[in-house]
Amino acid sequence: MVSVVCLAYNHEKYITKALDGFVSQKTDFAYRIIVHDDASTDGTAAIIREYAERYPGLICPIYQTENQYSKKIPIHKTHVVPHLAGKYVALCEGDDYWTDPLKLQKQFDAMEAHPECSMCTHTVREITEAGEETDAFRPRTTLSEGAYGTQQFLDIKRNYPFQTACYFMRAELWKSLVQDPPAFRRVALVGDEPLLLFMAAHGPIYYLPECMSVYRVCSIGSWSYRNQQDPQRRIVQMRKNYEMMCLYDEYTEHHFDCHLVLYRGRMLLYEKNFKELAKKENREYVKQLGFAKRVFVRLAAILPFVGKLMK
């Protein structure tokens, strides 16, 4: 009924916890675990092989001899989808892990009870790269259990509310996304945000206010880690995010164009384009900034040297 999909690359330090979380699930339905190792240069593949031998009917391992990501080969489409089975797909990266043995069952039950929903999410706790628990959770705001429509989802999406380790989706929808991605997905640098946008466009997202998985913040080698090390990469990401939302606006027939203000404002702020940011069409974004930032933006728009002080 469910395929668990896990992508791993140089996750030797973390992959055991991820695999333990998968195999410990207690369900009244059959599920399989598809683990893709992208030619790791550490001991990740050996650990996956050990688990695959211990759980031969449960774990479906895929080992690469050449790194597919660096060759720009779409891993999900090319290597994972052919092994997919069942009605639903659950995702978890190799450096994250699940903490509740009933996670799959709870999400399965929620989706069966709400066939109008495209996916189910839940609360995720953040830990440091070293594995120390933090007081941070996703989503950042308190949400009640229930189904959130596209407009509601976009309203709470400002701080990336849901993290990959909590995604539980209808398999046919997910397959259609990875096999024939819409334009807004093709321009995105990473897949998480456009995936959520796609699912939200195809039905409500059901949320369970229970913490059932852990997200490792900026683990070494992750996209987030590399992004933090290079401010220029962050600027490129902001530009791509704005382009993505413009295309999403077209995809949804301009029902949500008010959210373009947020993405345009973020992009201009990271670019330090204060003169443009101070224009009337960006006023709604500037209003959302703290008092000190609003003053700074207005000063920097008039006095360019002030903008150079910004870190």
Residue ranges of domains in the chain: 2-220, 230-307
Q: What is the pLDDT of residues 219-273, one digit of tens each?
A: 555 445 554 556 778 888 888 888 988 999 899 888 766 678 888 888 888 888 8
CB-CB neighbours of 237 under 10 Å: 18
Rounded CA gap, 205 and 169, in Å? 9
Q: Do the beta carbons of residue 231 and residue 143 sit within 8 Å? A: no
Write down the mean pLDDT value for the chain.
89
Level-2 CATH architecture, domain 2-220: Alpha-Beta Complex (3.90)
pLDDT band, very low/low/confident/very high, at 294 (cuts 50, 70, 90):
confident
Give pLDDT tens digits for 13-41: 999 999 999 999 999 999 999 999 999 99
Of 237, 246, 260, 231, which Cα lies nearest the Cα of 189?
Answer: 237
Supply the pTM of this predicted model: 0.86
